[in-house]
Amino acid sequence: MRYLIWIDRINLLLGRTVSFAVWIGAALLVFEVISRYAFGQPTIWAHGYTQRIFACYFILVGAYTLLKSGHVRVDVFLVNRGPRGRALLDALNYAFLLIWCLALTYEGWNFFQEALLWNEKDDSALAHPLWPVKLCLVVAAGLISLQALAGLIRSLAATANPALAQPGGLANEP
């Protein structure tokens, strides 16, 4: 179970670190607005960099959000279930998420390789390379896959022993 804690800690650290990207993106937007409206000197780079910062932030914080149970859930099927039933349905959800994330990681890797190989650039005036954002997609999908695997293991353990789903049990995340 040491591996589960290791996965949690990586995603916790990355989520907390990446959360500061919001402030960097916001500062760039404020700079652009002031530059444009106060000085009449808009930049050609701020919009593109802001898009990339927020795109990387949005996808890299996904595993942290999963760790903290921050994703939207439809609890219609969970309301009248006991701990074992909830754990079983959670295991099913984590299994589907894991399959989807592994496919996303695989395809994202192909997108990243093509962008790097062909030196793919966006259509802005500065022609920014697209591979950094595509690499963020691969890393994020891989980390969500790991967090989904940890959740699946915890849910299966809680299915076998519902006491593990209680506070202080294996199913708790940091």
**Tens digit of each residue's pLDDT (9 = 90 or more) over 83-114:** 888 889 889 999 999 999 999 999 999 999 99
Query: Has residue 172 been placed in a domain?
Result: no
Residue 169 has what pLDDT? 44
CA distances from 1 to 61, 95, 123, 140, 163 (A): 23, 18, 47, 22, 16
Residue 145 has what pLDDT? 97
Query: Has residue 174 been placed in a domain?
Result: no
Q: Please give the model's pTM, rounded to 2 decimal places.
A: 0.86
Please state, rounded to an integer, the average pLDDT across all residues of the chain.
89
Query: Has residue 161 been placed in a domain?
Result: yes
Query: Has residue 170 been placed in a domain?
Result: no
Who's near 149: CB < 8 A, 6+ residues apart? 7, 94, 98
Residue 167 has what pLDDT? 45
Residue 121 has pLDDT above 80, yes or no: yes
Domain holding 93, by residue range, is 2-165
Query: Has residue 49 been placed in a domain?
Result: yes
Query: Has residue 67 been placed in a domain?
Result: yes
Buried b (16+ CB within 10 A) or exposed e, 59-75: bbbbbbebbeeeeeeee
pLDDT band at 166 (very low <50, low <70, confident <90, very high): low
Overall average pLDDT of the 9-14 stretch: 95
Query: Has residue 97 been placed in a domain?
Result: yes
Residue 86 has what pLDDT? 86
Query: Has residue 173 been placed in a domain?
Result: no
CA-based radius of gyration for the chain:
20
d(CA 169, CA 6): 16
pLDDT band at 69 (very low <50, low <70, confident <90, very high): confident
Residue 96 has what pLDDT? 95
d(CA 120, CA 14): 27
pLDDT band at 173 (very low <50, low <70, confident <90, very high): very low
Q: How many domains does one find in the chain?
A: 1
Residue 104 has what pLDDT? 96
